[in-house]
Amino acid sequence: MARPPAKPPARPTRRPARPAPRKAALPQPAAPSGPPREGDRIAKLLARAGIASRREVERMIEARRIKLDGEVLTTPATVLTSLKGVTVDDKPVAKPERTRLFVFHKPAGLITAERDPTGRPTIYTALRNALPEGTPRVMPVGRLDFNTEGLLLLTNDGGLKRALELPSSGIERTYRARTFGEISQAQLEELIHGIEIEGVRYGKIDANMERRTGRNQWIELTLTEGKNREVRRVLEHFGLEVSRLLRTAYGPYQLGDLPRGQAYELKKHEIEPFLSQLKKQGLL
């Protein structure tokens, strides 16, 4: 007797799919209530004009030293399209000059600041004789320690100063250090991976032994961060004693054979490509 055809296996009962949870609506940015803002914050404008760095301008506003049309400004958030009517210490602010950049060979024994509370000499003591008469007020790009010498860039443009100092710019700084102690090239090469010292992380450093005489050696180091006393701390971490530290380059600019305490202005064609590069990076 023929068997009846087998029934196909029953399909498993499918549970109704749960509705996907509704995502909370993201808050939408409020539509601007008016036309886009024109102008820049006063700190930025005054920095560009070479009055002071942005941070210093903010301190000047706190000290009630800056006025607009005779009224004391109380906030650095003030937005202006020009510096017309702005005074600092009751003196009108002149129109910004073109961007200027100087190379200065800072001697050891000078503070990289405008004044020192303890009365130690500053770079401006040397700059009185190093810069030509009529040079506008200039600001140092970064700092060199009291006992560190070498290339120090100076500019009248606060915006350029800030861009050159930012670690995100990736601008290389090169130093030569005379040290005493034991270290190998292999140890120096490990610095290319960066190093952590007492909880502080330092980025990559390209370090090379230049020459050695006994336990004395000259070491060249190139880095891009420039943290406070970075070179000295890294070398001292290896047990080396740093007897002399000299910065020889900052970005494309070299110290060369410029005598200590002397300065010169870079030509327009020497700075324009560099400025263009910073603008492409969105730093200017």
Q: What pLDDT, in 10s, does the model give residues 108-118? A: 999 998 888 89
- CATH code for residues 101-279: 3.30.2350.10
Contact yes or no for 215/182 (Cβ under 8 A): yes
Task: Say if residue 6's pLDDT is above 80.
Answer: no
Phi then psi for 114, rounded to 5 degrees?
A: -75, -35
* In the chain, where the domains are located: 40-92, 101-279
Highest-confidence range of 17-21, 183-187, 277-281, by mean pLDDT?
183-187
Is position 69 annotated as part of the catalytic site? no
CATH 3.10.20.600 fits 40-92, yes or no: no
Question: Quick one: average pLDDT of 224-245?
Answer: 94
CATH topology identical between 40-92 and 101-279: no
Q: Find out whether 154 and 140 touch, Cβ atoms under 8 Å.
A: yes
Reported pTM: 0.74
pLDDT in tens, 59-68: 999 999 999 9
Q: What is the mean pLDDT of residues 14-21?
A: 45
Catalytic residue (choose from 40, 89, 145, 157): 145
